[in-house]
Amino acid sequence: MGLQEPAAFYDHLRASRLLGDTISSEEFAGCEAILIAAAGKLPMSWVAYCLATAFHETGGSMAPNVENLNYTSAERIRAVWPSRFPTIASAQPFVRNAKGLANHVYNGRMGNRPGTDDGWQHRGRGQAHITGREMYAKLDAELGLGGDLIASPDLALRPDVSAQILVAGSLKGLFTGKKLNDFIAAKPTREQFANARRIINPDNNGGKVADAALVFFAALQAGDWR
């Protein structure tokens, strides 16, 4: 199961230039991890969406990353979390204070315990960020990791684990309650791909993700995904 013609898949991606003129080792590893995690589980259109989500969420690198909370201005912090910081002065102590900021904005919710470093320890990681102790625990149980993901959150940065999180979370609606089957047919449309953004985040980036998904779908067709 999976790609029958891997070279054709990557040739199509190179020709599309979605990942640039060449495919780096990091981009290749990210794609491969998702393709392996999806093999035998997802039809072509759903795989395309997972690949496109990783592309968007990682800024095109396809590699798992960790949430950057090292903000350099109080104005930016307040813009991101207006309800948490009613004034510029209230945000000032968290400029270039990533750990303090994470604990301030994330503790007391998402399963993070007040007065601990849970917010920092369980900040966003992966190809589709998981955030909060509760979400780490949910994905740990889903993947059968026996508590390792909670004890060592950086495990979500390992390409194979990150890809399994992305695939399982999208398939079963573990991120937002919305899942692949809610939106995407076997023969997908751009509109379906755009609406499926709600699987990860109900923001206004659906069109961008949809355009990438169409490229990945064509590449998977070229690679004879089964």
Angle at 49 between CA 149 and CA 62, to 5 degrees: 55
Residues 94 and 51 in one domain: no
Q: Please tell me whether residues 86 and 163 are part of one structural domain.
A: no
Helix (H) or strand (E) segment spanning residue 206: helix 206-222
Indicate whether 94 and 190 sit together in one domain: no
Instruction: Tell me the CA distances in angstroms from 213 to 55, 92, 192, 206, 209, one per residue in order.
Output: 9, 40, 10, 10, 6
Cα–Cα dist 167/49, whole Å: 10
Amino acid at 13: L
Reduce the DSSP state of residue 52 to 3 states and report it: helix
Question: What stretches of 22-84 show up as alpha helix (H) in DSSP?
Answer: 25-38, 44-57, 74-80
196 & 146 share domain: yes
pLDDT at position 154 is 97
Give strand pairing partners of 3: 225
pLDDT score of 28 more than 90: yes
DSSP 130: B
> Vertex 183, ends 182 and 189: CA angle to 5°?
160
Q: Is 178 found in the same domain as 75? A: no
Per the domain annotation, does 88 fall within a domain?
Answer: yes
Note whether 72 and 144 are same-domain residues: no
Look up the pTM and report it. Answer: 0.94
Task: Tell me what pLDDT residue 21 has.
Answer: 86
Q: Is 165 exposed, middle or buried (0-12, 13-18, 19+ CB in 10 A)?
A: buried
Tally the domains of the chain.
2
Q: Does any domain span residue 105?
A: yes
pLDDT digits over 4-27, tens only?
Answer: 999 999 999 999 999 998 999 999
The tens digit of pLDDT for each residue in 179-188 reads 999 999 999 9
Q: Are both 147 and 218 inside the same structural domain? A: yes
My answer on whether 174 and 114 are in the same domain is no
Do 45 and 138 belong together in one domain?
yes
The per-residue pLDDT for 105 is 97
13, part of any domain: yes
Whether residues 105 and 197 share a domain: the answer is: no
Residue 109 pLDDT > 90, yes or no? yes
User: Does the residue 191 lie in any domain?
Assistant: yes
Of 123, 157, 189, which one is at a domain's C-terminal end?
123
Provide the residue range defining the domain that includes 85.
68-123
Per-residue pLDDT, averaged over 84-88, amounts to 96
- Is residue 24 in some structural domain? yes
Q: How far apart are CA 12 and CA 23, in angstroms?
A: 11
CB 220: neighbour CB atoms within 10 A?
25
Do 179 and 213 fall into the same domain? Answer: yes
Say if residue 49's pLDDT is above 90. yes
Same domain (yes/no): 61, 140: yes
Is residue 129 included in any domain, yes or no?
no
pLDDT of the residue at 114: 96
- Kindly state whether residue 128 falls inside one of the protein's structural domains: no
Residues 194-223, mean pLDDT to the nearest whole number: 97
Residue at 110 is within a domain: yes
**What is the predicted pLDDT for the residue at 129?**
96
